[in-house]
């Protein structure tokens, strides 16, 4: 049954690309994706710095130097410059002010606060999949905390591989006497592993956040589309800001905040569109499986 479900997912539930696109477009309007993305961006803004503080606290447990700096460096490469500068400056001020307490009980409070964005995602994905929330409040909140923690772990794993992948490969090769061939192969393989970490992180949210039972798939078309579209959107927004839109000149000191909100909004749109793609594929696959049973009953 799981094998059939996997096949139907990548066969788009029997839909053509054109039909799937038309259905997703209709659902974007019906589910008010643009409005819900605006609400998500609001929650993301307030959850961002608690989430980053929690990441910083987790990174401090690793016996590695420079992971935090590289995390911010990658953020500067993905986000528009003014937004990344605002993020870098604000996080630096918060970390310096709380340096002595990052690893205390405050980490749990920070994790709880950063899960607000995930709780909003859960409510939004219920609308995308067309289900009502029937889980108790405490279960929803614990699930939001668990998803936030799991997503943070995947982010840290990806960052560690991107920053220290070659060093890790060299150490493993020296320990087991595998030589330079293994080191070269590891450096090449670490890139797909980073992509897989990002895809699995997205897939975990798609799988666990809605209040409905679903088949687990390691990669789905919606998750793959969300990741590719997010990278393309971030790159395109960065080019636009660098060459065409000077937000700092137009809005002054709050230009960075406006760009950060815009980046959050477009990221939310991409994330929700990916969920809509998976929801429509699953609905089409379910209809395709019920048709033979209906025909047999009619006969």
Report residue 180 as tokens: 């330079």
CA distance 293 to 289: 8
pLDDT at 56: 67
How large a percentage of the chain has pLDDT more than 90? 10
Query: Between residues 178 and 128, which one has the greater pLDDT?
Result: 128
pLDDT at 244: 64
Contact call for residues 144 and 122 (beta carbons, < 8 A): yes
User: What are the C-alpha distances in Å from 53 to residues 11, 72, 156?
Assistant: 41, 12, 13
> Is the pLDDT confidence value at 79 over 70?
no
- At 212, is the secondary structure helix, strand, or coil? coil
Report residue 286 as tokens: 């379910």
Give 216's pLDDT tier (boundaries 50, 70, 90): confident
Non-local (6+) Cβ contacts of 69 within 8 A are: none
Report residue 115 as tokens: 């899960």
Q: Mind listing the pLDDT tens digit for each residue in 10-64?
A: 888 788 889 999 999 999 988 888 988 988 888 877 777 666 666 666 666 655 5
Report residue 45 as tokens: 């803004």
CA distance 154 to 162: 12
For the chain, first and last CA: distance in Å?
Answer: 25
Span 105-122, average pLDDT: 74
CA distance 129 to 272: 11
Q: Mind listing the pLDDT tens digit for each residue in 222-248?
A: 999 999 998 888 888 777 776 665 655
Report residue 138 as tokens: 């405490």
Contact call for residues 20 and 12 (beta carbons, < 8 A): yes
Q: Can you tell me which residue has the tokens 């000077």?
A: 246
User: What are the C-alpha distances in Å from 229 to residues 33, 268, 271?
Assistant: 16, 11, 9
Give the HSE-up count for residue 71: Cα atoms under 13 Å, Cβ half-sphere. 26
Non-local (6+) Cβ contacts of 264 within 8 A are: 40, 41, 44, 45, 48
**Model confidence pTM above 0.85:** no
User: What are the C-alpha distances in Å from 68 to residues 81, 83, 194, 276, 278?
Assistant: 18, 18, 17, 34, 34
> Is the pLDDT confidence value at 190 over 80?
no
Q: Mind listing the pLDDT tens digit for each residue in 163-173?
A: 566 666 666 66
């Amino acid at each position: 049954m799981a094998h059939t479900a996997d096949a139907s997912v990548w066969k788009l539930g029997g839909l053509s690309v054109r039909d799937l696109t038309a259905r997703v477009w209709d659902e974007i309007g019906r589910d008010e994706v643009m409005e819900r993305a605006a609400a998500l961006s609001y929650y993301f803004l307030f959850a961002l710095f608690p989430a980053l503080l929690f990441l910083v606290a987790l990174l401090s447990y690793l016996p590695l130097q420079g992971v935090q700096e590289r995390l911010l460096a990658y953020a500067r490469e993905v986000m528009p410059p003014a937004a990344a500068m605002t993020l870098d400056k604000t996080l630096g001020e918060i970390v310096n002010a709380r340096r002595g307490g990052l690893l205390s009980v405050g980490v749990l409070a920070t994790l709880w606060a950063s899960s607000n964005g995930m709780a909003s995602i859960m409510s939004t994905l219920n609308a995308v999949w067309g289900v009502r929330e029937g889980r108790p409040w405490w279960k929803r909140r614990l699930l939001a905390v668990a998803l936030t923690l799991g997503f943070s772990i995947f982010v840290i794993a990806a960052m560690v591989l991107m920053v220290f992948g070659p060093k890790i490969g060299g150490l493993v090769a020296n320990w087991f006497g595998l030589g330079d061939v293994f080191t070269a192969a590891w450096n090449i393989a670490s890139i797909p592993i980073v992509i897989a970490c990002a895809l699995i992180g997205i897939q975990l949210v798609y799988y666990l956040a809605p209040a409905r039972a679903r088949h687990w798939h390691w990669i789905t078309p919606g998750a793959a589309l969300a990741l590719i579209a997010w990278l393309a959107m971030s790159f395109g927004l960065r080019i636009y800001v660098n060459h065409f839109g000077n937000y700092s000149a137009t809005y002054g000191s709050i230009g960075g905040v406006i760009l950060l909100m815009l980046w959050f909004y477009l990221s939310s749109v991409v994330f929700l569109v990916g969920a809509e793609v998976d929801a429509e594929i699953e609905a089409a696959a379910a209809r395709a499986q019920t048709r033979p049973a209906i025909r047999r009953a009619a006969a």
